[in-house]
């Protein structure tokens, strides 16, 4: 095992870069813009240039570096091929790892960003010392990653862990972004919570808040002020989220379930009713599976990407 | 790798035993009764005696045998400890593998029976040459096993793959055997199909069949005769089953989904509408995942058990 490893978290706006010891200590981190022009064809070269520049500037020889982990916002096969990277302009199957390796002369591993975040939490976050976990990130959408035996489960088509698109609400007729309807994400994302509030709309307002200002944070604050509509939305949301986690845990039975994303900042106000709903719906051997908040925040991706290289 | 391996499939009535080459050819198979007296305390010794007797009788030396795989009707930890074996009288945690190994002098691996069946299908059945699969068995209950990377996923509490107890039908209020309500098994087991027929009951009959004679087979036959109530039950059942498989595949993204158990004998009459429902509900990268019937029938357990030993 060499001394150092890089993690690169490729997002739609920036690429986050992290320089770690192979024991998992983050020594430096920085960002570069994601250049989506020309079908995203400059992105890999930009990452290579930034890493090469960092190594040159710091005087660290490449033979002390184990490699680079790269996560991307798209489906990645279990062999590390990017199958879809629509948000960053890539089309068709792309060997991003091979390209980055050719440019830098370093070993490169590649995975989906939600899967990398889950691996990061398992390496140095809330899932430290566990063998398996499910991490669910509640944001504009619902992302998730599955770790079993300390490794990412990518799936046959790179879509393992896509719990956001499980058809848990067949009674819904509205279309999801994925083209189906009734997806978990339609109900348990930030916009899903806002949609629940819309049902309580009165004179263009929800709990006294103009509809265009209704966000999960506004609903949370109104719930804390014990406004009944907000309490009802919060109860319905946490019930649905807990049931979803119970379904996933009855399939996977992970050591731990980690919740990340903006909504998770509500802390125990979220997790406590979610655990109650989870216990009600999950198969009994898994009733006490811990449901905990994520620890690494926006750095989970660089941690997990770095870890991927060590997992090769 | 030695020449031979045993698989033992421990059921509530009999123990099925199989003697295989380590390449997966079944050379002999037989059954012994499951002696549930005295809290099931004689079962392991009976298996040991039967295997020792077989080897003595056939003149095969023990050093040509790789070991014994044992599957049991209960939860088994990833380390092979039996956590619950209620149907066979066992109470508390039991090191069945250790006991059988001590008695026979052979290496022993242990897993849950549904998981072993899934591994058997992956070794020598419908999942041959795949890396990952979900096998769902539609019987009195709904059993399932998950294989990833050619290995059983046992889960943190031995309950991975318990898709029968996913809360996919929260609108149901009747209790499931597990104590929850709204479980997949309540709807997609054989009794779940019969329950659907009860809703169409008229004068104590369903499609002209007295209610006490309504079985999945009777419903299937009535559906083939195009009786509208039976067609409606069949359509509803296959829709629900397809949605369930879609949910599980959006979490696991396996290479293949295998359907076993009595209801699977309906063949394409079952699988064709199930695939249609599956495609409607699954996340798009997994739309073309094959859904196929199991091949090994009641022998899946002995195959998978034998394979476990080789997977150590």
* Residues A76 and A43 both lie in one domain: yes
Query: How far off is chain B from A28, nearest CA to CA, in Å?
Result: 34
- A248 contact residues in B (CB cutoff 8 A): 251
Q: In this structure, are residues A176 and A186 in contact, taking their beta carbons and an 8 Å threshold?
A: yes
Q: Write down the pLDDT at residue A85.
A: 76
Q: How many domains does chain B have?
A: 2
The residue range of the domain holding A212 is 130-294
* Residues A96 and A204 both lie in one domain: no
CA-based nearest residue in chain A for residue B248: A251
* Residues A116 and A27 both lie in one domain: yes
* Residues B193 and B79 both lie in one domain: no
CA atoms within 13 A on the CB side of A175: 3
Q: What is the DSSP string of A55-72?
A: HHHHT--GGGEEEEEEEE
* Residues B171 and B274 both lie in one domain: yes
For B116-156, the pLDDT digits (tens) are 999 999 999 999 999 999 999 999 899 999 999 999 999 99
* Residues B143 and B290 both lie in one domain: yes
Tokens for A140? 């504009």
Where residue A210 sits, what CATH number does that domain have? 3.30.420.40
Per-residue pLDDT of chain A (312 residues; tens, 9 = 90+): 999 999 999 999 999 999 999 999 999 999 999 999 999 999 999 999 999 999 999 999 999 999 999 999 988 998 899 998 778 889 889 999 999 999 999 999 999 999 999 999 999 999 999 999 999 999 989 999 999 999 999 999 999 999 999 999 999 999 999 999 999 999 999 999 999 999 999 999 999 999 999 999 999 999 999 999 999 999 999 999 999 999 999 999 999 999 999 999 999 999 999 999 999 999 999 999 999 999 999 999 999 999 999 998
Q: In this structure, are residues B70 and B110 in contact, taking their beta carbons and an 8 Å threshold?
A: yes
pLDDT at B244 over 80: yes
Q: Write down the pLDDT at residue A78.
A: 87
* Residues B58 and B190 both lie in one domain: no
pLDDT at B247 over 80: yes
* Residues A107 and A200 both lie in one domain: no
Note whether B163 contacts A250, CB cutoff 8 Å.
yes
* Residues A103 and A141 both lie in one domain: no
Strand ranges in chain A using DSSP code E only, listed in sequence order: 4-10, 14-21, 26-33, 65-72, 108-112, 133-138, 142-148, 151-152, 205-206, 209-210, 256-260, 291-293
* Residues A137 and A249 both lie in one domain: yes
Lowest pLDDT segment from A152-156, B33-37, B88-92: B88-92
Q: In this structure, are residues B7 and B303 in contact, taking their beta carbons and an 8 Å threshold?
A: yes
Tokens for A152? 């990412």
Q: Write down the pLDDT at residue B144.
A: 95
Note whether A243 contacts B146, CB cutoff 8 Å.
no
Note whether A83 contacts B285, CB cutoff 8 Å.
yes
Which of B167, B251, B285 has the CB atom closest to A246's CB atom? Answer: B167
10 Å CB burial of residue B135 (0-12, 13-18, 19+) is buried
Q: What ipTM goes with this model?
A: 0.94
* Residues B146 and B250 both lie in one domain: yes
Which of B148, B157, B243 has the CB atom closest to A253's CB atom? Answer: B157
* Residues B91 and B104 both lie in one domain: yes
For A84-118, the pLDDT digits (tens) are 877 888 988 999 999 999 999 999 999 999 999 99
Identify the H or E element spanning B109: strand B108-112
pLDDT at B78 over 90: no
Alpha-carbon span A225 to A280, nearest angstrom: 27
- A286 contact residues in B (CB cutoff 8 A): 155-157, 159
Q: What is the β-pairing status of strands B65-72 and B26-33?
A: unpaired
- What is residue A74's DSSP assignment? S
Alpha-carbon span A91 to A10, nearest angstrom: 16
């Amino acid at each position: 095992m060499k001394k150092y490893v890089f993690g690169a978290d490729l997002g739609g706006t920036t690429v986050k870069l992290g320089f770690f010891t192979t024991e998992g200590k983050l020594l430096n981190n920085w960002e570069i813009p994601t250049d989506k022009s020309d079908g995203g064809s400059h992105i890999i070269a930009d990452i290579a240039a930034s890493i090469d520049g960092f190594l040159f500037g710091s005087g660290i020889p490449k033979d002390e570096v184990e490699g680079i982990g790269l996560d991307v916002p798209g489906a990645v096969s279990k062999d590390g091929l990017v199958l879809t990277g629509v948000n960053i302009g890539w089309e068709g199957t792309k060997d991003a790892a091979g390209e980055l390796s050719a440019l830098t002369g370093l070993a490169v591993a590649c995975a989906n960003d939600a899967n990398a975040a889950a691996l990061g939490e398992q390496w140095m976050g809330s899932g430290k010392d566990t063998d398996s976990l499910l991490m669910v990130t509640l944001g504009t959408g619902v992302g998730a990653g599955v770790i079993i035996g300390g490794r990412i489960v990518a799936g046959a088509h790179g879509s393992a862990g896509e719990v956001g698109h499980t058809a848990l609400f067949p009674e819904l007729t509205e279309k999801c972004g994925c083209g189906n309807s009734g997806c978990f994400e339609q109900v348990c994302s930030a916009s899903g919570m806002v949609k629940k509030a819309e049902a309580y709309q009165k004179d263009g307002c929800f709990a006294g808040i103009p509809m265009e200002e209704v966000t999960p944070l506004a609903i949370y604050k109104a719930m804390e002020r014990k406004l009944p509509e907000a309490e009802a939305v919060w109860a319905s949301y946490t019930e649905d989220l807990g049931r979803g986690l119970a379904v996933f845990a009855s399939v996977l039975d992970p050591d731990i379930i980690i919740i990340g994303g903006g909504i998770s900042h509500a802390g125990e106000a979220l997790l406590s009713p979610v655990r109650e709903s989870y216990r009600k719906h999950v198969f009994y051997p898994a009733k006490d599976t811990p449901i905990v908040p994520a620890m690494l925040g926006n750095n989970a991706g660089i941690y997990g990407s770095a870890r991927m290289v060590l997992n090769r």
